[in-house]
Structure 1
Amino acid sequence: MLYIVIPVFNRKDFTRACLDSLRQQTTTAFRVVVVDDGSTDGTGQMLCQDFPEVLLEEGDGNLFWTAGVNLGIRRALAEGATQVMTLNNDVLTAPDFVAQMQAVAAQHPTAVLGALELDVSTGQPVYGGETLDWRTNTRRDLLETLPPEQRRGLHPVTYLPGRGLLIPRRVLETIGLFDEKRLPHYLADFDYTSVARRHGFPVYCNYDARLSTYPEESGQEITRRQRSLRGYYQHLFGIRGGGNLRNFTHFSLKNCPRPYLPYFLLNGYARRLVGYFLH
Structure 2
Amino acid sequence: MLYIVIPVFNRRAYTRACLLSLREQTRADFRIIVVDDGSTDGTDVMLTNEFPEVEVVTGDGKLFWTAGVNAGIRRALTHEASRLLTLNNDVLVPPDFVENMLLWADRRPDALLGALELDAATGQPIYGGERVNWRNNTSQYLLAELPETRRHGLHPVTYLPGRGLLIPLRVIQEIGLFDEQRLPHYLADYDYTSVARQHGFPVFCNYDAPLSTYPDESGQQQTRRHRSFRGYYQHLFGIRGGGNLRNFTHFALRNCPPRYMPYYLLNGYARRLVGYFLH
Shift in Å at residue 49 of structure 1?
0.7
Cα deviations across residues 118-174 of structure 1 (Å, max 9, x unaligned)?
000100000000010011100111101111111101000000000110000000000
Shift in Å at residue 213 of structure 1?
0.3
Q: Equivalents in 2 of 1:275, 1:60: separation in Å? A: 33
Aligned counterparts, 1:151-190, within 5 A: 151-190=151-190
Cα deviations across residues 254-275 of structure 1 (Å, max 9, x unaligned)?
1111111111000000000000
Cα deviations across residues 181-227 of structure 1 (Å, max 9, x unaligned)?
00000000000000000000000000000100001101111111111
| Residue in 2 that maps onto 1:226 | 226
Aligned counterparts, 1:80-119, within 5 A: 80-119=80-119
SS of match in other structure, 1:25: coil
| Residue in 2 that maps onto 1:27 | 27
Aligned counterparts, 1:223-262, within 5 A: 223-262=223-262
Q: Equivalents in 1 of 2:257, 2:181: separation in Å? A: 22
| Residue in 1 that maps onto 2:200 | 200
| Residue in 2 that maps onto 1:136 | 136
| Residue in 1 that maps onto 2:68 | 68
The answer as to 2:6 corresponding to 1:16 is no
SS of match in other structure, 2:252: helix
The answer as to 2:158 corresponding to 1:124 is no
Could you tell me which runs of 5 or more consecutive residues in structure 2 were left unpaired when the two chains were aligned. none
Q: Equivalents in 2 of 1:179, 1:217: separation in Å? A: 24
Q: Equivalents in 1 of 2:76, 2:226: separation in Å? A: 38
Q: Equivalents in 2 of 1:78, 1:202: separation in Å? A: 26
- Percent identity over the alignment? 73
Q: Which residue type is aligned with residue 72 of structure 1? A: G
SS of match in other structure, 1:174: helix
Q: Which residue type is aligned with residue 249 of structure 2? A: T
Moved over 6 A (4+): none
Q: Equivalents in 1 of 2:275, 2:147: separation in Å? A: 29
TM-score, length-scaled by structure 1: 1.00
Q: Which residue type is aligned with residue 121 of structure 2? A: S
| Residue in 2 that maps onto 1:211 | 211
Q: Which residue type is aligned with residue 71 of structure 2? A: L
| Residue in 2 that maps onto 1:265 | 265
Q: Equivalents in 1 of 2:4, 2:142: separation in Å? A: 26
Q: Equivalents in 1 of 2:150, 2:225: separation in Å? A: 34
Q: Equivalents in 2 of 1:98, 1:214: separation in Å? A: 20
Q: Which residue type is aligned with residue 203 of structure 1? A: V
SS of match in other structure, 2:73: helix
Q: Equivalents in 1 of 2:132, 2:226: separation in Å? A: 29
SS of match in other structure, 2:122: coil
Q: State how many pairs are aligned.
A: 279
Shift in Å at residue 20 of structure 1?
0.2
Q: Equivalents in 2 of 1:206, 1:34: separation in Å? A: 24
Q: Equivalents in 2 of 1:142, 1:219: separation in Å? A: 24
Q: Which residue type is aligned with residue 102 of structure 1? A: L
